[in-house]
Amino acid sequence: MFDRGNDGFEDERESLVAQLADRDRIRHETTLNALRSVPRHEFVPRQRRREAYDDRPLPIGENQTISAPHMVAVMTDLLELSRGDRILEIGTGCGYHAAVTAEIVGSKNVFSVEYHESLAEATRDRFRRLAQSDRFDYDDISIRVGDGNGGWPENSPYDALYLTCAAPDFPPAVVEQVRPDGRLLAPLGDDPQELVLAEKRDDGSLSRESHGFVRFVPMQRT
């Protein structure tokens, strides 16, 4: 059973968060607390656990990666999430980014779409296992297997949306699922991509701002 209070990686996790804060990678206290709370070593392959708190991406299977902690922090900060916000994530992967989001908005408010059934099932199992500690409720995060370009319309509208994979542009279907004044964040374009934060106007159009160049795995589609 996982013990949130004593998992053997407290020092490594605290050191990572402190480094990110010192480098101005974390601006909001909610983001800092979320990264401090989520056991990243539980979201990487067992043979990679000693690398879990290095600030870099790691492979998780299916040619996918877990994002570097600083990128998760940057994206979380940019979305300015609040408790109770309804969030759509495209690209569940191992579930780490969704768990960080859930620490802020609440697990029942996170809806995630994953293309690879094997990753989705492994993440559901991971969330259930962590929930056995009675210290996490990540098993309340909703995961759907499918093409992220279609989003998850049944649970819309969302207050915010983010992609953990690179796309040519924000998929039109998911833009429609975000409420007016909602925020969208994604790595867009070719390799390297541009991290773009957008706000949805009342007429459905997007105001956009760039937050630098990044490198993500490409979005999968059927």
- Annotated active-site residue 67? The verdict is yes
d(CA 134, CA 202): 42
Q: Note if the bond before 171 is cis, omega within 30 degrees.
A: no
Determine which one of 37, 67, 82, 118 is catalytic.
67
Closest of 109, 107, 114 to residue 130, by C-alpha = 107
**What amino acid occupies position 101?**
T
Active-site amino acid positions? 67
